[in-house]
């Protein structure tokens, strides 16, 4: 058992059975995922067998009720599990996060029984994989300005338009698509549709060549009059923006956990390197400059972790957690970027080579400041919540 075990001792929301799950995932991540992370990063290969193994452990639908194929666990355990996976491979973690937070969650909260049985159950069991199509080429941080359109036709809808930056877009079987059903209504005209990716007209038009998280696909999708049956409307017409914003609150906890895992990997690597690397006749861990790096890394990592757990705790209690999720995502992603940058500094020239994992950690960390709401958007969300609270007082 490694030193991270103590991290979870005394956390009251995690009972013994959940601790056992976390230990099981940690062991799997250390033994099966971590040894392949560099290869996956280099080749961009989708880790299909790893995802299947995680599905068999119940990790693809962690917060889904058991009667719909899920594990029915809490958000704190989910965050802890994602941190373990991300510490081994950030690409694998985001694949898992998207399926859980951005696909299974909205189907759980907004789907009817028929939709849950047909779509949620196989997604939670890992028999199918999902993606979440909100962003567009001209509308990343502004979901209310969507141009992708849905037109009512006999028996359903036809969707036309383009979506950008879609994680799991290449491999997904089910896509949650946000389209404007009535542009005259502005954001009130946006609706959410459950789309089978095998539908005629569904096209993966481009795959992005990315800086990091290379083993998870990031696709541009084109919908060429894709027919969607009427029963595949999620929620009511016009519920799309509400569904999207609700979903992104939970998704930000997942990305915060991913950032924690990336940061922790770089932090642990830095500690090991500092005790092994000698300069001037002693390990560099004896140098005050290195000690201060390590102290600041530890403090930022734990602070971000506690914010992430606090957001997950609020979610578990059924409280409003928009601000808490934004704070967690902001703190964890910026901590990950800072920690991975300093990790390379601790490693010196070695940190700039692919021989050491901190180089990959650095590249993987950057995206956590961008997707599911940039750091700037998180600050806008947090400030809006603070002023709203002031006006109520």
Residue 141 backbone phi and psi in degrees, to 5: -85, 0
Instruction: For residue 81, give the CATH number of its domain.
Output: 1.10.540.10
**Beta carbons within 8 Å of 204's beta carbon, 6+ residues apart:** 169, 170, 219, 220, 221
pLDDT at 134: 96
Is the same domain home to 166 and 62? Answer: no
Could you say which of 106, 129, 152 is where a domain stops?
A: 129
Is the same domain home to 112 and 94? Answer: yes
- pLDDT average, residue stretch 215-222: 98
Could you say which of 241, 273, 298 is where a domain stops?
A: 241
pLDDT at 183: 86
Residue 40 backbone phi and psi in degrees, to 5: -60, -40
Q: Is 372 considered catalytic here? A: yes
CA distance 187 to 393: 29
Could you say which of 129, 162, 180 is where a domain stops?
A: 129
Asked whether the predicted pLDDT for residue 269 surpasses 90, the reply is yes
- pLDDT average, residue stretch 31-58: 98
Instruction: For residue 206, give the CATH number of its domain.
Output: 2.40.110.10
Classify 25 in phi/psi space as left (phi over 0), alpha (psi -120 to 50) or beta. Answer: alpha
Is the same domain home to 88 and 156? Answer: no
Identify the band that residue 145 occupies on the pLDDT scale cut at 50, 70 and 90. Answer: confident
Identify the band that residue 2 occupies on the pLDDT scale cut at 50, 70 and 90. Answer: very low
- pLDDT average, residue stretch 327-335: 98
- pLDDT average, residue stretch 119-136: 97
Is the same domain home to 135 and 125? Answer: no
Question: Could you tell me which of 121, 118, 195, 182 has the C-alpha nearest to residue 150?
Answer: 182
Domains held by the chain: number: 3
Is the same domain home to 119 and 199? Answer: no
Strand intervals (E) in the chain:
130-133, 149-153, 156-167, 174-180, 190-196, 202-207, 218-229, 233-234, 278-279, 282-283
Q: What range defines the domain where residue 121 resides? A: 3-129
CB 192 within 8 A of CB 239: yes
Is the same domain home to 153 and 222? Answer: yes
Identify the band that residue 10 occupies on the pLDDT scale cut at 50, 70 and 90. Answer: very low
CA distance 140 to 165: 9
Neighbours of 224 (CB within 10 A): 14
Q: Taking CA 78 as the corner, what is the angle to CA 74 and CA 81, rounded to the nearest 5 degrees?
A: 140
Is the same domain home to 17 and 31? Answer: yes
pLDDT at 11: 53
Asked whether the predicted pLDDT for residue 8 surpasses 70, the reply is no
- pLDDT average, residue stretch 52-74: 97
Of 83, 84, 136, 372, which is the active-site residue? 372
Is the same domain home to 215 and 331? Answer: no
Is the same domain home to 118 and 163? Answer: no
Asked whether the predicted pLDDT for residue 184 surpasses 90, the reply is no
Is the same domain home to 87 and 45? Answer: yes
Q: Which residues pair with 160 in a beta bridge?
A: 149
Average pLDDT over the chain, rounded to whole? Answer: 94
Is the same domain home to 61 and 182? Answer: no
pTM: 0.95
Residue with tokens 């914010």: 307
pLDDT at 140: 66
Is the same domain home to 217 and 261? Answer: no
Instruction: For residue 270, give the CATH number of its domain.
Output: 1.20.140.10
pLDDT in tens, 247-263: 999 999 999 999 999 99
pLDDT at 68: 98
């Amino acid at each position: 058992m490694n030193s991270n075990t103590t991290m979870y001792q005394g956390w009251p929301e995690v009972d013994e059975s959940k601790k056992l799950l976390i230990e099981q995932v940690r062991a799997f991540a250390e033994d099966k995922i971590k040894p392949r992370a560099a290869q996956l990063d280099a080749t961009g290969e989708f880790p299909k067998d790893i995802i299947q193994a995680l599905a068999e452990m119940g990790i693809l639908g962690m917060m889904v009720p058991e009667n719909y194929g899920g594990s029915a666990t809490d958000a704190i355990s989910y965050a802890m599990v994602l941190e373990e996976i991300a510490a081994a491979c950030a690409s694998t973690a985001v694949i898992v996060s998207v399926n859980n937070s951005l696909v299974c969650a909205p189907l759980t909260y907004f789907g009817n029984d028929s939709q849950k049985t047909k779509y949620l159950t196989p997604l939670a069991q890992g028999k199918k994989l999902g993606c979440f199509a909100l962003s567009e080429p001209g509308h990343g941080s502004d979901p209310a300005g969507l141009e992708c359109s849905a037109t009512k036709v006999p028996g359903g809808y036809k969707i036309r338009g383009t979506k950008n930056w879609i994680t799991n877009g290449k491999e997904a079987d089910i896509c949650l698509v946000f389209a404007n059903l009535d542009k005259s209504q502005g954001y009130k005209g946006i609706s959410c549709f459950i789309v089978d990716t095998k539908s005629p007209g569904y096209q993966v038009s481009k795959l992005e060549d990315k800086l990091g998280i290379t083993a998870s696909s990031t696709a541009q999708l084109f919908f060429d009059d894709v027919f969607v049956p009427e029963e595949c409307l999620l929620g009511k017409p016009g519920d799309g923006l509400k569904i999207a914003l609700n979903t992104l609150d939970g998704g930000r906890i997942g990305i915060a956990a991913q950032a924690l895992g990336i940061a922790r990997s770089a932090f642990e690597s830095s500690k090991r390197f500092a005790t092994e690397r000698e300069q001037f006749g002693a390990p560099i861990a004896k140098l005050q400059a290195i000690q201060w790096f390590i102290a600041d890394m530890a403090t930022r990592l734990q602070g971000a972790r506690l914010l992430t757990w606090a957001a997950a705790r609020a979610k578990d209690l059924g409280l409003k957690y928009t601000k808490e999720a934004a704070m967690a995502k902001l703190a964890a992603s910026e901590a990950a970027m800072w920690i991975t940058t300093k990790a390379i500094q601790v490693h010196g020239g070695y940190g700039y080579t692919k021989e050491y994992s901190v180089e990959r950690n650095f590249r993987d960390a950057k995206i956590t400041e961008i997707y599911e709401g940039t750091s700037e958007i998180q600050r806008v969300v947090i400030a809006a919540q603070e002023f709203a609270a002031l006006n109520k007082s």
